[in-house]
Amino acid sequence: MVDIGKAGTFTLGSHTVRRLGYGAMQLTGPGVFGPPSDRAGAVAVLREAVQSGVDHIDTSDFYGPHITNQIIREALHPYRDDLVIVTKVGALRGADASWLPAYSAGELTQAVHDNLRNLGLEVLDVVNLRIMFGIHGPAEGSIEAPLTILAELQRQGLVRHIGLSNVTPTQITQGRRICEIVCVQNLYNLAQRADDALIEALAGDGTAYVPFFPLGGFTPLQSTTLSAVALALGVTPMQVALAWLMQRAPNILLIPGTSSVAHLRENLAIAELRLPAETVTELDRIAGGGDPH
């Protein structure tokens, strides 16, 4: 079995976690909506992840909705003491599977209680406030009102730690005036690197950065350079892309998701994959447009 501890550790709230975790978004039906076609398979993936040493799982009660958290509870409850479950609030799912902002006091309070109930927890370890001001990424705007509501739920003892998702540096600064921010979760990968400077700043602060869509999301990364590097190293292009992220900065926590045990093992194997310096330099050119896609 791969030793995922070789990928190192970083602080997440009150825990020190292994930098290689698991994202549970894909444990639902198509479009992150409805039940999976193979629920037993989803349970098996979660159990394999934890047995392999994964100690932090990313989820949300709006995956499904409710379904992913219910599967996590079925697979892993009662939870190991060292398992950190990170969830997020700030959205609802429409009947047509649309994603709708949900920032009112009632909506955020309901979301926290839904997560607690479906996960079978009395307190949530980490809750990310997901900001949906922009269609294609972060957009400026005050997050004071919803974050103040979430901070009040923290004071009530329902939430231990708070993070932010899909935010700008200005919003992080604003958020820190309201409560401690233990992690930031934004879109970032080998080809989409708008947060380069932010990652460095957060690393200096000791704050975790969790890239979502580390492999491109619904439009997977494609690059001739990536493919050539993978072929030379005898691994897959996606393993190279994940390994690049692991080496990008010490505060990056990875949460690659999958509904397949075989693919999970492939993802976790990158804990032992070290990219040579010249390979990293070659891969860095992809974001600069120097690579045909």
Instruction: Indicate whether 242 belongs to any domain.
Output: no
What distance in Å separates the CA atoms of residue 198 and residue 187, rounded to the nearest whole number? Answer: 12
Please give the pLDDT value at position 293: 41
Please give the pLDDT value at position 289: 55
Instruction: Indicate whether 287 belongs to any domain.
Output: no
User: What's the pLDDT band for 162 if we cut at 50, 70, 90?
Assistant: very high
Instruction: Indicate whether 69 belongs to any domain.
Output: yes
Q: Please write the tens of the pLDDT for every residue from 217-238.
A: 666 677 888 999 999 999 999 9
Reading phi first (left if > 0) and then psi (alpha if -120 to 50, else beta), residue 134 is in beta
Please give the pLDDT value at position 19: 98
The average confidence (pLDDT) of the chain is: 94
What distance in Å separates the CA atoms of residue 290 and residue 281, rounded to the nearest whole number? Answer: 12
Please tell me which residue in 63, 103, 188, 209 is annotated as part of the active site: 63
**Domain tally, the chain:** 1
Among 135-139, 203-207, 258-262, the range scoring the smallest mean pLDDT is: 135-139
Instruction: Indicate whether 286 belongs to any domain.
Output: no
Instruction: Indicate whether 26 belongs to any domain.
Output: yes
Instruction: Indicate whether 291 belongs to any domain.
Output: no
pTM beyond 0.85: yes
The CATH number given to whatever domain includes residue 168 is 3.20.20.100
Instruction: Indicate whether 245 belongs to any domain.
Output: no
Please give the pLDDT value at position 81: 95
Q: Is 63 a catalytic site residue?
A: yes
DSSP string, the chain: ---GGGG-EEEETTEEEESB-EE-GGGSSGGGBS--S-HHHHHHHHHHHHHTT--EEE--TTTBTTHHHHHHHHHHPSPPTT-EEEEEESEEE-TTS-EEE--SHHHHHHHHHHHHHHHT-SSEEEEEEE--SSSSS------HHHHHHHHHHHHTTSEEEEEEES--HHHHHHHHTTS-EEEEEEE--SS--TTHHHHHHHHHHT-EEEEESTT-TTS----HHHHHHHHHHTS-HHHHHHHHHHHH-TTB-B--B-S-HHHHHHHHGGGG----HHHHHHHHTTTTT-S--
Reading phi first (left if > 0) and then psi (alpha if -120 to 50, else beta), residue 229 is in alpha
Please give the pLDDT value at position 121: 98
Is residue 127 predicted with pLDDT exceeding 70?
yes
The residue segments making up the domain with residue 80 are 4-217+250-273
Is residue 292 predicted with pLDDT exceeding 90?
no
Instruction: Indicate whether 226 belongs to any domain.
Output: no
* pLDDT, mean of residues 245-274: 96
Among 35-49, 123-137, 145-159, the range scoring the smallest mean pLDDT is: 123-137
